[in-house]
């Protein structure tokens, strides 16, 4: 495997193979599988789980890693093509990425969406450029519109919890003070669709996921025997649901317009998941979230501290699935 950029690049069988490998490595550790191998990690944006789980995962497989954080101890990196670099950025990724790739055996990169132009972010222009610049195996540690490591960990979590393939999976928008990227909702809806679930996207008006994301997920759902619908009716969405996956994201109607987005979301602070949301759901409906989560803003303490919440298990599963990806790439 030379690239792990999105679940959509793989067949359902390939994903199931990766999940089986994650389980196999957990059942029977391979502490020397990646001896002598080096993973480079580049973080254009903050990280807790991703940083710690990739470093721990490489170490558990006998390898090692280094971390580069542009703008913090490292030069700020320019990403625009043909830029006249007389501003804050001292180095271009056209040099930075190939050079870092030359020092390691695989490279992981995190680069969030700019959040200004929806078509540009949907086009993944930055990650496509990084892709062409990196001659080593490359891992998407969250790009403008994807977060495959999270999606794979979530798939594993659903399997571990024995959530039936055809169960109802509700991805719900939740409140956040600011517009956050679409990477996790896009990756999540595609993952649940690929798994063959009855996927419902629940979101207020103005926060519909982009048609490109929905269309691709709908095709994946059809291929796997599942479905994908969208609604702003919370009760209808949650009726009979097995999973509520909470996630914050920015308005797509006002994408890049901070002021309009703020006005729109100002009215929506009641989109904080509370226990009463689950009134019509199944008795043991699970609450998922990729973390970090703002308590009592996106999800209430009563839910996060109760038996529904499986958010820490999701995070723990990042380690397992990333070890499988690294093993497949480097072993």
Which residues here bind a copy of itself, judged by CB under 8 A? 29, 31, 35-36, 38, 40, 43, 46-49, 51-53, 55-56, 59-60, 62, 64, 66, 68-69, 72-75, 78, 82-86, 89-92, 94-96, 98-100, 102-104, 177, 291-297, 301, 304-305, 311-312, 315-316, 319
Q: Which is nearer to a copy of itself, 126 or 304 (CB)?
A: 304
- Is the separation of the CB atoms in 285 and 132 below 8 Å? no
Nearest approach, Cβ of residue 165 and a copy of itself (Å): 27
Q: Which is nearer to a copy of itself, 58 or 158 (CB)?
A: 58
Tell me if residue 123 falls in helix, strand or coil: coil
Q: Which is nearer to a copy of itself, 34 or 187 (CB)?
A: 34
Nearest approach, Cβ of residue 197 and a copy of itself (Å): 25
Nearest approach, Cβ of residue 239 and a copy of itself (Å): 29
Rounded to whole angstroms, the Cα distance separating 160 from 313 reads: 9
Q: Which is nearer to a copy of itself, 16 or 59 (CB)?
A: 59
- Is the separation of the CB atoms in 159 and 19 below 8 Å? yes
Q: Which is nearer to a copy of itself, 189 or 311 (CB)?
A: 311
Nearest approach, Cβ of residue 233 and a copy of itself (Å): 26
Nearest approach, Cβ of residue 321 and a copy of itself (Å): 13
Nearest approach, Cβ of residue 163 and a copy of itself (Å): 21
Quickly count helices (H) and strands (E) in the chain.
12, 12
Nearest approach, Cβ of residue 71 and a copy of itself (Å): 9
Strand runs (DSSP E) across the chain, as ranges?
3-4, 38-43, 64-68, 77-78, 91-92, 106-110, 138-140, 168-173, 198-202, 227-231, 243-247, 286-288
Q: Which is nearer to a copy of itself, 151 or 216 (CB)?
A: 151
Rounded to whole angstroms, the Cα distance separating 171 from 230 reads: 9
Q: Dihedral of the CA atoms 146, 148, 151, 153 (nearest 10)?
A: -150
Rounded to whole angstroms, the Cα distance separating 241 from 142 reads: 27
Closest CA to 109 of 85, 133, 89: 133
Rounded to whole angstroms, the Cα distance separating 65 from 47 reads: 15
Q: Which is nearer to a copy of itself, 95 or 205 (CB)?
A: 95
Q: Which is nearer to a copy of itself, 36 or 211 (CB)?
A: 36
Tell me if residue 168 falls in helix, strand or coil: strand
Nearest approach, Cβ of residue 314 and a copy of itself (Å): 9
Closest CA to 38 of 22, 62, 21: 62
């Amino acid at each position: 495997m030379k690239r792990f950029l999105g679940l959509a690049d793989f067949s359902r069988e390939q994903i199931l193979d990766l999940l089986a490998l994650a389980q196999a490595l957990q059942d029977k550790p391979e502490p020397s599988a990646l001896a002598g191998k080096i993973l480079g990690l580049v973080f254009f944006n903050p990280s807790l789980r991703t940083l710690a789980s990739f470093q721990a995962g490489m170490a558990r497989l006998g390898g090692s890693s280094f971390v580069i954080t542009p703008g913090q101890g490292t030069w700020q990196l320019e990403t625009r093509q043909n830029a006249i670099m007389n501003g804050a950025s001292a180095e271009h990724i056209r040099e930075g990425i190939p050079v870092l790739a030359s020092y390691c055996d695989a490279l992981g990169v995190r680069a969030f969406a700019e959040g200004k132009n929806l078509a540009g972010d949907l086009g993944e222009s930055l990650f496509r450029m990084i892709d062409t610049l990196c001659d080593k195996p490359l891992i998407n540690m969250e790009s403008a519109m994807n977060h495959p490591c999270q999606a794979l960990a979530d798939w594993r979590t659903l399997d571990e919890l024995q959530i039936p393939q055809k169960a109802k999976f509700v991805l719900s928008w939740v409140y956040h003070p600011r517009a956050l990227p679409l990477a996790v909702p896009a990756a999540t809806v595609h993952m649940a669709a690929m798994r063959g679930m009855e996927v419902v996207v629940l979101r207020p008006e103005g926060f519909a996921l982009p048609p490109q994301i929905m269309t691709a997920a709908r095709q994946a759902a059809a291929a796997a025997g599942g479905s994908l619908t969208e609604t702003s009716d919370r009760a209808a969405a949650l009726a009979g649901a097995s999973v509520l996956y909470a996630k914050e994201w920015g308005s797509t109607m006002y994408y890049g317009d901070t002021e309009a987005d703020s006005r729109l979301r100002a009215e929506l602070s009641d989109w904080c998941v509370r226990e009463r949301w689950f009134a019509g759901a199944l008795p043991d409906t699970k609450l998922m979230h990729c973390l970090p989560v703002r308590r009592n803003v996106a999800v209430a303490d009563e839910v996060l501290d109760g038996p529904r919440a499986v958010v820490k298990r999701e995070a723990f599963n990042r380690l397992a699935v990333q070890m499988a990806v690294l093993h497949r790439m480097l072993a």
